[in-house]
Structure 1
Amino acid sequence: MSGYVLTCCSTADMPYEYFKKRNIPFVCFHFNMDGKEYPDDLGQTVPFEEFYARIAAGAMPTTSQVNVGEFIDFFEPYLKDGKDILHISLSTGLSGAYNSACIAREELLPKYPSRKILIVDSLGASSGYGLLTDAAADMRDNGAALEDVFAWVEEN
């Protein structure tokens, strides 16, 4: 069993079942539709069929990134469990989520000084970001060390 957890954002655009099967927890971005905010939990709260039907009926969704507090809430259970974290984030060219994750790390590390939280700017989005996360999961599953997976993702 690995001493670290590989995480990403819901914007990696892989199916919910994929993340569950590969043991890759994801932090949810948000979307607002018809004046109500929903988590981008990959169709669990608002099924994709309903989402697209509402758009076809004229709804115009907007999105928002994960904030610092949400990253803290997402990361902390793994740290409490004695796990290090490798988080692959949506590109900084598209979102401030990477910066929010970095601020959360700086707030958490004093509380968990023996833990590591490594955060990578994927420089990608959508399924390209998902494929990068998939390759990192393969490395993790084949026994690669946290730092080795981090270095590979940073280079690719």
Structure 2
Amino acid sequence: MIRRWGLRIAALVAIIVAGQVIFTLIDSEPQPLAWALTATVVVALIWLASDAFGAAVASWDEPLAPYARPDAADDSVHHRVLTGHLSAGDPSPALRNLLVQLARSRDPDLQDLELRALAESPAHRLSATDIDRYLTRIEQPRDHE
């Protein structure tokens, strides 16, 4: 970039000097400051047009692939188990087993008495409030770490 601007400035100086010499040889009584400013403006406009129209076409990087969560399939399974449990006439132990599995992933010994009671109890319908309470208890150890 410095090389390009160095060449441009050298060319501008050469144009100003050559024009001054030519105007002096033909006895047109040039004014050096006016000629230098006129030549600078004309050359700067030519450079501006050259830079604007000579720019390469913009190239864009390939867009990133959409993010796919690695546990999206688990979310689908959990959603099916939860909706199946809430809508079933006779609920299966799937939701209870899933809650116990989540609890054991955080605390293998199930120190929480309420979660241990859930693990040892037979399958029964859990209300939305019960499910929320169990999930809150499962999450609590993480909050205190």
Shorter-chain TM-score range: under 0.3
TM-score between the two structures when normalised by the length of structure 2? 0.20
TM-score between the two structures when normalised by the length of structure 1? 0.19
Query: Between Structure 1 and Structure 2, which shows a larger proportion of strand residues?
Result: 1
Structure number with greater CO (CA < 8 Å, separation at least 6) is 1
